[in-house]
Structure 1
């Protein structure tokens, strides 16, 4: 080919071209982010709606259903799921992989605006949407613990000091404070005290809200000066609110402390995180999609000494988990494999070519092809991960083929007595189209993988493209650099010269192998029927083995992290759930391969209801485990150890780098049932779960169906409402103030804002009959007892209601 002859005659030009390729590869390598697996972005948007006090059924019917019907009109939506709990609704939208997430977000915002007319009018805030990637997990967890400091003080440091600085680091997408206990003033009123003084709950709410209000006062302007008017704002302390006058009775003021306990508390009392049994606050850091995981974690580690210096002496900061450690280890292992493979390939070439000069030529082409591939990887936005390094490792066997073919043809002419320069030109021209066809045929093998769709296609696209780039570069180098090096490095063959020791040793080994092959070939030809039977048997055994071998998308990756999901009775109280969770955490800590555990009992995205919790388990590195146990073996051991704890079930699941789907679960496999009839769906789902538990091969069987919660249903007499001059809004507001956790005011300070929360004293509302102590003030000022206008019935109800495809749904999760 002309390009080969040009490179042979222009060695300086060829050298400069190869040097440019080498430099591009080095610069590309420095820009490649390091990750465990290729970046897979599934366009996903979550829509969150809060309707405090509403039941799960109410959230599903009045909030989730209208939103889902409107979201179904958006182009490119592949899945709509929702999870509804008390006061919260989370709708998750998954889009086609080719959908632009920013354009989809605009469509979602428009759909929310259209659906707003069909949502409850008294929603405190409109639905909020957020772009997420289910495949992303935090790259680092930091634990703040203390034996003496309050959780509020720890939260203040995490929220004010750590979170802002971590968020400013390059590559950081989001910082979350888990188990946060933000300061708040909590007002717990006594229903009996209110009834004795003839005060309604709404009067407390109005008095506190009026005291905490922030409104402009204006200014006084004279001819010479301006005076700005301002009143002293409220203070976020219980002492400030205790003397507040809420009413006057018999000529004397009734202060808030006379009818309520006012305490310095936290916004969410039903949330607790514990690190090895000690109260903790967890700070998790998520990276941006194109960020380098190792670089992000290194930047966080550089900040830790600053945080340590600013921490109060009673608070300790330590790294709970660093995902870059497992990534560094796995990538390092693949890099070592890559280097060993390159050395072995060069040694094999030396064994067959038997000369160091001839071996040097493909030995140069091999690293040049690999290094040049880094430039292509950077151009396509790939990362340096296990998949791309695997592609480079496999490419090592391909990239030397073209160089060896060209080299062998040129050496053949040199052995015939032709000068190396002329032999290089003639040999390269003859073999050029052959090398081109070999290169293109190898690339053609990966074309189906390049155009594969779905998650699997996204996952293996980087693999196919990386190995294709390496093969194309090897073809280019074999037609340019290899002939040029042959024309300069190969010498004339002297047939009279005695072969060297290395050549004689390899030749003796070849002769021995050929003799052995000759013996086995002769034996095979003497029994053709037996050979035919062996061939058929091999085919049958292969088909049988393919059927019985375990199949899966990816093997279980040992990340040294296990997530233990816990589940208790649907109607369990927070304190009882916390005690059972502690028993599970203590049992886990007894395992010899566990370094530490972090237990969480809080209503969140991962634990949508209070009867579910999660425990983060950090294992020792595999070389330090007893018997070098795998993560699956540790999982099995923990499953058996946790099976006999009464009142709670535990499901250990190894944390994986690749997560498919936006619905989390307590096991690796999920099966979803949907139906128009919710009652029949729940009935059949429970029966199916029992059958699956009894079937062999299934373990960790559970479901997101949480029936059995005690539910009080109020039947309001409309005629009585009209007779007393009451409205349903007044009744709902009073009930929410009594039995909800109502935020009635916000106190602003220069550094933060704090909530004032109103609720009934929980020590005095342990009996459902307490509803008879609740009074509602009518429009005429009369106090009306609640049981005069409503009757109460006790019955079962769901703790959460899941939906999929605009229908009620139940998801069964299990392991095999």
Structure 2
């Protein structure tokens, strides 16, 4: 996969030099890149979230990133203020200035310059010009231009009145110039930057910390280390609350514990079955000792193979727990037979093991030959089952060695010579049952056919799925509003939905953690897009007796169905393994391939409508559904060319007018804030009246050279083999 990624990057690298392409990234999807833990941070002590953001950014974030195995700790919520210089276009025009002039003056005043070096006696001095801005007041009092002063105008008038007594060629005094400050052409304020994410915990706006682990680090160990440090942070910052809302290690630990318990009970049941049939505590103990000894030997081989104790390796041990005693049973049975024939314990142990050595070797290697080829399987199956195959192979080889060495040794010490009674009770019962079956062949055949038919019917009734889903007490509600919805509106809906979930769940709901807007963890996830019109609510249920997730989802869905223009999707909390297996993607996906875009759009809508009528399918979406509203500027090419304008310069001027331009940073109290120079927010009705200056000095408006029209852009553009695709996706009930 790495070579394929490099090949794609080389091919796509030629397009990165295109001027119309800002950035071109080719990355490999990695479910391990998802955060292993999320922590909500709240505090009533700080006046606003900006102060809390500063404390987290300077105190908590560096500390967590310094922990072993932690790759990064990303702050969610981006509640950070910036310094905005809001210019007045009329004042700029009155003073003969432009926004570019203001940006240049701020940039020139906000830098440190080196003035060379002075050497005197034995000392050398570095000359520096310290010009960094440190306060908003300094920005307001920054000189950005000059204008004619009132005193100069008055003196000029007086001189004109007394001009009769003055020589015509006399020199005039220089004109008095008055500086123009930033505060003269606009206002400087400190306010929140344009937010892309809003985070809430139980309806209260807060910040979040997403913990990402290093590629080769253990999820469990990283999360445990982070949680330990969080406990210390609670002591160091008593006024700040830390709430763990997502914990991937909890699911892994629970799964590993279940597998460990299954392996233990499996080994215990195997020993119990042995005692039931052998009816001898001594023989059962000899065979039972083969299980822990074989497992210890398996651990040794796993260590040299660099295998870890995880779900797959422990599953291999649980799978091999019953097979570990197979070889020991064969050896001990033959030793027991030798003892009944009169041999002494040492001779019975030696000859009993040697008699069946070739047979159990062939049997073990036969089983090993089934699992060993899995080690060489490539792709997803190989990644999943390679460690399990190695574990089973190691356990079987260990059981063979234990059966040929440890079992005969213990048997020679514990077993004693016995005589055969010839006709034990078990043999009489077995012969009686066998004779009964042979005397009624037809009845036996009919029972076999009936049993096979019942088994087949029961197999058809069992639900089938790739990865089982279980109620782990945590599920997500993905809510989507119509494309183009603002983040503030999405946040209000998220707050309303969160409070509704808490009311419906009552004591069953522990926490509701919502993330509205752009989610960095889901930017590259095509199946779960994020944006200002989407919010994700992570609902954690309380421990102990409670309603199931299915019951909670049913109650929530009934309420959300009454909210218009709202689409909801429900997902169980899933691990990175389920992400690798595609459990996060919609299970029902249909693609229509064609060249005509209009026909493709129509067929996709018709097929989507038919699928939506099926009762077993919900959340049906198409790739043409709900595009982002856009404003297309239909430029008048003749007018643009007549005034010496270009589309590139127009777009650049328009971008500065709408979003502003960052002129630098202001550093204070160990924090850096952007200085953004721009204008007041423009409404849709004011778009046509935006001023456009030409190189010849002409003043135009955007409406003079363009015809803005609101259209619906595509939500996504899909291609396969260079052909357009219309995709329909849906979720099964």
TM-score w.r.t. the length of structure 2 is 0.85
Stretches of 4+ aligned residues off by more than 6 angstroms: 662-666
Q: Partners in 2 of 1:754 and 1:410 — Cα distance?
A: 82
- Given that 2:99 and 2:678 are in contact with CA atoms closer than 8 Å, whether structure 1 keeps it comes out as no
Shift in CA distance, 612/662, structure 1 to aligned 2, threshold 3 Å: farther
Asked whether 1:724 is paired with 2:661, we answer no
Match of 2:567 among 649, 659, 671: 649
Asked whether 1:186 is paired with 2:84, we answer yes
Q: After TM superposition, give the deviation of residue 444 of structure 1 in Å.
A: 2.6
List alignment gaps of at least 5 residues for structure 2.
Answer: 150-177, 523-528
Q: Partners in 2 of 1:645 and 1:375 — Cα distance?
A: 60
Q: Partners in 2 of 1:154 and 1:286 — Cα distance?
A: 21
After superposition, give the CA deviation of every residue in 1:256-304 in whole Å (9 maximum; x if it has no partner): 3444443213343242101111111111212234433332222112212
Shift in CA distance, 669/799, structure 1 to aligned 2, threshold 3 Å: closer
**Match of residue 247 from structure 2:** 322
Q: Partners in 2 of 1:141 and 1:686 — Cα distance?
A: 38
Asked whether 1:117 is paired with 2:31, we answer no
**Match of residue 787 from structure 1:** 703
After superposition, give the CA deviation of every residue in 1:205-249 in whole Å (9 maximum; x if it has no partner): 333333335554444445644333333344465443233344445
Match of 1:625 among 543, 546, 555: 546
Asked whether 1:138 is paired with 2:35, we answer yes
**Match of residue 176 from structure 1:** 74
CA RMSD of aligned residues (A): 3.4
Q: After alignment, is 541-550 or 450-459 more displaced? A: 541-550
Q: Partners in 1 of 2:188 and 2:581 — Cα distance?
A: 41
After superposition, give the CA deviation of every residue in 1:625-679 in whole Å (9 maximum; x if it has no partner): 23xx3x4444444333432233322211001122346999685554455554444
Q: Partners in 2 of 1:624 and 1:806 — Cα distance?
A: 54
Q: Partners in 2 of 1:229 and 1:457 — Cα distance?
A: 64
Q: Partners in 1 of 2:478 and 2:147 — Cα distance?
A: 54
Asked whether 1:570 is paired with 2:489, we answer no
Shift in CA distance, 131/717, structure 1 to aligned 2, threshold 3 Å: same
- Given that 1:246 and 1:256 are in contact with CA atoms closer than 8 Å, whether structure 2 keeps it comes out as yes
Asked whether 1:207 is paired with 2:105, we answer yes
Query: What secondary structure does 2:307 align onto?
Result: coil
Q: Partners in 1 of 2:585 and 2:535 — Cα distance?
A: 10
Q: After TM superposition, give the deviation of residue 321 of structure 1 in Å.
A: 2.7
Q: After TM superposition, give the deviation of residue 551 of structure 1 in Å.
A: 1.9
Number of paired residues? 693
**Match of residue 209 from structure 2:** 283
Asked whether 1:585 is paired with 2:498, we answer yes
Q: After TM superposition, give the deviation of residue 736 of structure 1 in Å.
A: 0.2
After superposition, give the CA deviation of every residue in 1:757-790 in whole Å (9 maximum; x if it has no partner): 244322xx22x33233322333344443333332
List alignment gaps of at least 5 residues for structure 1.
Answer: 1-98
Shift in CA distance, 793/642, structure 1 to aligned 2, threshold 3 Å: closer
- Given that 2:113 and 2:129 are in contact with CA atoms closer than 8 Å, whether structure 1 keeps it comes out as no
**Match of residue 165 from structure 2:** none
Shift in CA distance, 725/689, structure 1 to aligned 2, threshold 3 Å: same
- Given that 1:570 and 1:611 are in contact with CA atoms closer than 8 Å, whether structure 2 keeps it comes out as yes
Shift in CA distance, 739/659, structure 1 to aligned 2, threshold 3 Å: farther
- Given that 1:699 and 1:815 are in contact with CA atoms closer than 8 Å, whether structure 2 keeps it comes out as yes
After superposition, give the CA deviation of every residue in 1:421-465 in whole Å (9 maximum; x if it has no partner): 112222211100101011012223324544444323322222222
- Given that 1:151 and 1:280 are in contact with CA atoms closer than 8 Å, whether structure 2 keeps it comes out as yes
Asked whether 1:685 is paired with 2:604, we answer yes
Match of 2:465 among 552, 563, 585: 552
- Given that 2:78 and 2:195 are in contact with CA atoms closer than 8 Å, whether structure 1 keeps it comes out as no
Shift in CA distance, 246/671, structure 1 to aligned 2, threshold 3 Å: farther
Residues 277-676 of structure 1 aligned to structure 2 (within 5 Å): 277-311=203-237, 314-447=239-372, 449-493=374-418, 510=426, 514=430, 517=433, 522=436, 525-526=439-440, 528=442, 530-547=443-460, 549-590=462-503, 591-592=505-506, 593-605=508-520, 606=522, 607-621=529-543, 623-626=544-547, 629=548, 631-657=549-575, 658-660=577-579, 667=586, 669-672=588-591, 675-676=594-595
Q: After alignment, is 174-183 or 389-398 more displaced? A: 174-183
Query: What secondary structure does 2:317 align onto?
Result: helix
| Higher relative contact order, chain-length normalized (CA < 8 Å, sep 6+) | 1
Shift in CA distance, 544/365, structure 1 to aligned 2, threshold 3 Å: same
